[in-house]
Amino acid sequence: MIGKDGILEVKNFRDINIKDSFFDSLKEDYEEFESWFKKKSDKEAFIFESESDLLAFLYLKVESEEVTDIEPNLPKKNRLKIGTFKIEPHGTRLGERFIKKMFDYALDKGLDEAYVTIFKKHDYLIKLFEKYGFKHCGTKTTDNGIEEVYIKCFSDENNDVLIDYPVMPFKKNETNIYLMPIDPPYHTRLFPDSILNNEDSSIVDDCSHTNSIHKVYIAFRDDIGLKRGDILAVYRTKKGLDGPAKYKSVVTSFCVVEEVKEKQNFVSETDFIDYCRNYSIFTVEELEKWYKTKQRFTAIKMTYNLALKKRVIREFLLEEVGISENDRINFLKISPNQFWQIKLKGMVDDERTVIYKT
């Protein structure tokens, strides 16, 4: 399994209580569920527990053969099967966190496709999968009934920030790339998969702004010029006297701009608060204060696409990428080549994470 995570836990099937009432609906849907579960005793699953209550379960499997138990069949290919996935919704957008985990897992394994079978009655999950690019491709018929089959191909070009997610479309002469600064107290709570090795994972909470694929960043300026589809490289600044910035300030992640709103685009304070509250780390009181006291600001809604496998330190930006010591990294625009250098240093698979368009 992949990554350090303060929310999701990896457990062997044998260490998960199948008698938990959480599994009752799965037993109702799949007559063979208990026997299947016991056969997987040495396999691993992602789970989420809150005060000993099981609230989410995800089993993933890499397949390489032709899939013949669905109609039409899927040809022989390395792909991810989302084997079992259930969430008890409780208002924290945990479903989005699991979607991101599926995608991270697939890309980490070098897979180009992911598919899932699901009964029509699970409306919430179907809408969640469709939102991030899964398309209906067939049915699976068993003694349990007819399931719908949905598939996502990461190399498909849809020209849409959400449908293409987590892949980042890059259009020559159109997509701009910026270094976006964020202070340490906010960084990991907003970008949990980008936690540093020396950080305590307990700072990551089960809350909407942490779990959501969508994030809102507030910049106290209105002259950035961002647009939908632009790419943001998240630059975590150093903490106080915590050593030299050239070693402690790092690029950790990539995001894609979804929407940009300046102060005048909000009809009221309530409109602004409703837009930000579930996707930003700020309290309602902070948002109220800023709306009242700041003459200008920009609320940037973005998708959290990718955490770099290796954090890229400021020293590399200065010595290899060509960032000047005098450059203020506050939405500093960088070139496609500089973006490529950062991706390479961050150990990002360029072919599977970026679609280049002329």
Q: Could you report the per-residue pLDDT of 307-318, keeping only the tens digit for each? A: 999 999 999 999
Predicted local distance difference test score (pLDDT) of residue 3: 43
Q: Decide: 67 and 78 in contact? Cβ < 8 Å.
A: no
- 21/326 Cα distance (integer angstroms): 59
Segment 30-51 shows an average pLDDT of 95
Predicted local distance difference test score (pLDDT) of residue 247: 82
CA angle 114/119/124 to nearest 5° reads 80
Smallest CA-to-CA distance from 21 within 50, 53, 49, 45 is with: 53
Of the listed ranges 111-115, 141-145, 152-156, 346-350, the least confidently predicted one is 346-350
Q: What's the fold here for domain 6-153?
A: Aminopeptidase (3.40.630)
Within this chain, domains 6-153 and 177-346 share the same CATH topology: no
Q: Is 253 helix (H, G, I), strand (E, B) or coil?
A: strand
Segment 16-39 shows an average pLDDT of 97
Segment 74-98 shows an average pLDDT of 93
Residue ranges of E strands in the chain? 9-12, 44-50, 53-63, 79-87, 113-118, 135-142, 145-153, 168-171, 177-182, 214-219, 231-236, 250-262, 298-313, 332-334, 354-357
Segment 346-353 shows an average pLDDT of 84
**If you count them, how many residues does the chain have?**
358
Per-residue confidence band for 264, with pLDDT thresholds at 50, 70 and 90: very high
The structure tokens 């979804």 sit at 258
Of the listed ranges 3-12, 77-86, 87-96, 252-261, the least confidently predicted one is 3-12
- 168/165 Cα distance (integer angstroms): 7
Q: Is 140 helix (H, G, I), strand (E, B) or coil?
A: strand
Of the listed ranges 49-53, 140-144, 328-332, the least confidently predicted one is 49-53
Predicted local distance difference test score (pLDDT) of residue 240: 63
pLDDT of 303 > 90? The answer is: yes
Q: What is the DSSP secondary-structure string of 21-52?
A: GGGHHHHHH-TTHHHHHHHTTTSEEEEEEETT
What is the pTM for the complete model shown? Answer: 0.92
pLDDT of 261 > 90? The answer is: yes
Of the listed ranges 68-72, 162-166, 198-202, 354-358, the least confidently predicted one is 198-202
pLDDT of 357 > 80? The answer is: no
Smallest CA-to-CA distance from 356 within 331, 337, 328, 334 is with: 337
Token couple for 16: 């998960």
Q: Within 10 A of 37 (CB to CB), how many other CB atoms are there?
A: 21
Mean pLDDT of the chain: 91
111 φ/ψ sector (left φ>0, alpha ψ -120 to 50, else beta):
beta
pLDDT of 65 > 60? The answer is: yes
Smallest CA-to-CA distance from 167 within 111, 115, 126, 124 is with: 111
Residue ranges of domains in the chain? 6-153, 177-346
Q: What's the fold here for domain 177-346?
A: 2.30.130
Intra-chain end-to-end CA distance of the chain, in Å: 36
Predicted local distance difference test score (pLDDT) of residue 356: 76
Segment 202-212 shows an average pLDDT of 63
Segment 6-18 shows an average pLDDT of 89
Smallest CA-to-CA distance from 268 within 293, 298, 291 is with: 291
CA angle 56/28/116 to nearest 5° reads 55
Per-residue confidence band for 206, with pLDDT thresholds at 50, 70 and 90: low
